[in-house]
Amino acid sequence: MTETHPKFAVVGHPNKGKSSIVSTLAFDDSVQISDTPGTTTKKRSFPLTVDGRVLYELFDTPGFQRARSVLAWLQKHEVTADKRPDVVQAFINEHRDNERFNDEIELLEPIMAGAGIIYVVDGSKPYGEEYEAEMEILRWTGQPSMALINLIDETNYVEEWKRALGQYFKMVRLFNPMKATFPQHLSLLQSIAQLKEEWIEPVNESIGLFKAFHEQMFEQTARSITQLLYHSLSHVERLPIKEEDATEKEKTLVLERYKARLREYEELEQKRVEKVWHHENLEKAQQALLFDGMDLFSKESASLFGLSRKELLITGTTGGAMTGAGIDLLLGGSTLFLGSAIGAMVGGAGVFFGFNELSEVKVLGQKLGKRYLEAGPMKNVNFPYILLNRALFHATKIASRSHALRNKVLLEMGRDFTSKWMDDEVRKSLEKCHVLFRSGDEVKPETMKAYEETIGMILRRLID
């Protein structure tokens, strides 16, 4: 850890969103946050590290508990302004073992060690005199400082807060840790740089690195989604079989494994994206990727993804065209599915245009030699869009989620989500790749790259 990076202590009254601000600015969802005042009891450092380099470091601290007593002590030791920081240090030294002042000492220590001050208030509560002792103590430390007004609720006392805070802090800004966008985050850093001349250069450097880091996050997300599509569409599940013909049980098994594998790919992809965006402690509520009963070829989903009737029919016929092409036996979807338990779950038209076109189950191998069942690769022309829609929705939610939130992520996609990213041009460029992914042929790196770029462009359109 280099010692030159800027450091900030986030301080204020209890329960005003200090830890939430630390969490958001440090991209760290491990910060303790709760609506019980006094949640943070010890100072803790949260560095924002990129490629092993610390961009800046934030200290989460407990809220002031006995500001008036502390201020009274300081004032009793009244000295000229230049000596005031020494008096604050003397207070710390003298009370280090005094439980009564634990919170004040915890919050003053990083400041006295050189951290800049970010004073947090809740602009939805009226201003009151009780804050003045806190602000006065902070002024005694002599450290550069700014105030952040966090609007926790609807009511708005921002104007009166601004008038009061302006008398103690050179800079007063509104900042909502739950809703802050990346540009707002950057703009806050830019203001922080102005607090101290020596900070301008390191903070600007951090901002540059932070922007590059953000770009990387988009690229990694696009790569992750591309991998998901490629692996899901090209996946082939194999199952050795005992007899010459596959049993119903074996057919069901290979399909179950095929579907389980596709769900696993999606889960892994989501985990990767969550890691990229530093959301590793997430709880999610999401409908699993369903294959049965999914009306993949309905008119409605066709128009949703801009597919023409012709395109749907082309896929519908490929299954039949495969028969005899070096394949011992191609099981027609209906024979297999109607007779099985899964078949029972496939509703109406889905039987003809849906699930049975998802993948094929083939029996391969020589007579009485080694034989196996194969499911996949994906044949359904609509499936990639369903998968992509889910992956893009998930990525959008994750990338724009504040690190200060502790609730479950509800991945409930609205009906209008697709129209936010899908248009004719996008679909055309994606479709070429989907055909290739589904074919099982080798995909050139430049084709992958092009797909990744299209996904990256879509992500940028969806996020910010």
Ligand X SMILES: Nc1nc2c(ncn2[C@@H]2O[C@H](COP(=O)(O)OP(=O)(O)OP(=O)(O)O)[C@@H](O)[C@H]2O)c(=O)[nH]1
Residues that bind ligand X (CB under 6 A): 14-20, 33-35, 37-40, 62-63, 150, 152, 176-178
Residue 39 vs 454, nearer CB to Mg ion? 39
CA distance 76 to 70: 10
- Please identify, using beta-carbon distances, which residue of 120 and 378 lies nearer to ligand X: 120
**Which entry of Mg ion, ligand X, none binds 15, CB below 5 to 8 A by partner kind?**
ligand X
Instruction: State the nearest-atom distance from the C-beta of 195 to ligand X, in Å.
Output: 21
Question: Closest approach of Cβ 433 to ligand X, in Å?
Answer: 41
Least CB distance from residue 108 to Mg ion, whole Å? 16
Q: What are the backbone angles phi and psi of residue 37, rounded to the nearest 5°?
A: -60, 140
221 binds Mg ion, rule: CB under 5 A? no
Our CB check for Mg ion shows the closer of 15 and 227 to be: 15
Beta carbon nearer to Mg ion, 10 or 336: 10
For 13-151, strand residue ranges (E) read: 44-50, 53-60, 116-122, 145-150
Identify the helix (H) or strand (E) that includes residue 323. Answer: none
Distances (CA, A) of 106 to 141, 147, 437: 14, 19, 57
Contact 145, 116 (CB under 8 A): yes
What does DSSP say about strands 53-60 and 7-12: parallel, antiparallel, or unpaired? parallel
Stretch that binds Mg ion, among 17-25, 109-117, 250-258, 390-398 (CB under 5 A): 17-25
Q: Least distance (Å) from ligand X to the CB of residue 20?
A: 3
Which lies closer to ligand X via its Cβ, residue 151 or residue 296?
Answer: 151
CA distance to 136, 185, 346, 395, 457, per residue, from 59 (Å) = 20, 17, 56, 29, 36
Task: State the minimum distance, in angstroms, from the CB of residue 9 to ligand X.
Answer: 12
Q: Per CB under 5 A, which region of 2-10, 14-22, 123-131, 283-291 contacts Mg ion?
A: 14-22
Residue 174 amino acid letter: L
348 binds, among Mg ion, ligand X, none (CB under 5 to 8 A by kind): none
Judge whether 377 and 233 are in contact, CB under 8 Å.
Answer: yes
Nearer to ligand X, 23 or 226 (CB): 23
Query: In whole angstroms, how close is the CB of 60 to ligand X at the nearest point?
Result: 7
**Residue 105 corresponds to which tokens in the numbers above?**
């000492």
Non-local CB neighbours of 201 within 8 Å, separated by 6+ positions: none
Nearer to ligand X, 175 or 297 (CB): 175
By CB under 5 A, name the one of 6, 8, 17, 19 that touches Mg ion: 19
Report CA 402 to chain centroid distance, whole Å.
8
Residue 14 interacting partner from Mg ion, ligand X, none (CB closer than 5 to 8 Å by kind): ligand X
- Kindly state the smallest distance separating residue 182's Cβ from ligand X, in Å: 17
- Residue 65 C-beta: closest distance to ligand X, Å: 10
Number of Cβ within a 10 Å radius of residue 370: 9
- For residue 65, the tally of other CB atoms under 10 A from its CB is 17
Structure tokens at 51: 């490629």
Find which of Mg ion, ligand X, none residue 152 binds, CB within 5 to 8 Å per kind: ligand X
For Mg ion, which stretch binds (CB under 5 A), given 16-24, 288-296, 436-444, 450-458? 16-24
Shortest distance, CB of residue 67 to ligand X, whole angstroms? Answer: 13
Question: Closer to ligand X at the Cβ: 65 or 340?
Answer: 65
CB of 188 to ligand X, least distance (A): 14
Nearer to Mg ion, 2 or 36 (CB): 36
Question: Residue 35 binds what, of ligand X, Mg ion, none (CB under 5 to 8 Å, by partner type)?
Answer: ligand X
- Give kind and range of the element (H or E) at residue 434: helix 424-439
- Name the minimum Å distance from CB 230 to ligand X: 39
* Tokens representing residue 5 in the block: 């990076």
Q: First and final CA of the chain: distance in angstroms?
A: 31
**Orientation of helix 424-439 relative to helix 197-234, angle to 10°:** 50
Q: What sign does the CA torsion over 243, 246, 251, 254 have?
A: positive
Question: x/- string (CB under 5 A) for Mg ion, residues 25-54?
Answer: --------------xx--------------
Dihedral of CA atoms 224, 228, 231, 233 in degrees, nearest 10, equals -140
Query: Which of 36/167 has CB closer to Mg ion?
Result: 36
Tokens of 157: 């006392």
Q: Which two tokens stand for residue 280?
A: 């590793």
Q: How far apart are CA 386 and CA 364, in angstroms?
A: 30
Determine the size of the site formed for Mg ion (CB under 5 A). Answer: 4
Kindly tell me the sign of the dihedral angle through the C-alpha atoms of 141, 142, 148, 149. positive
The site for Mg ion (CB under 5 A) is made up of: 18-19, 39-40
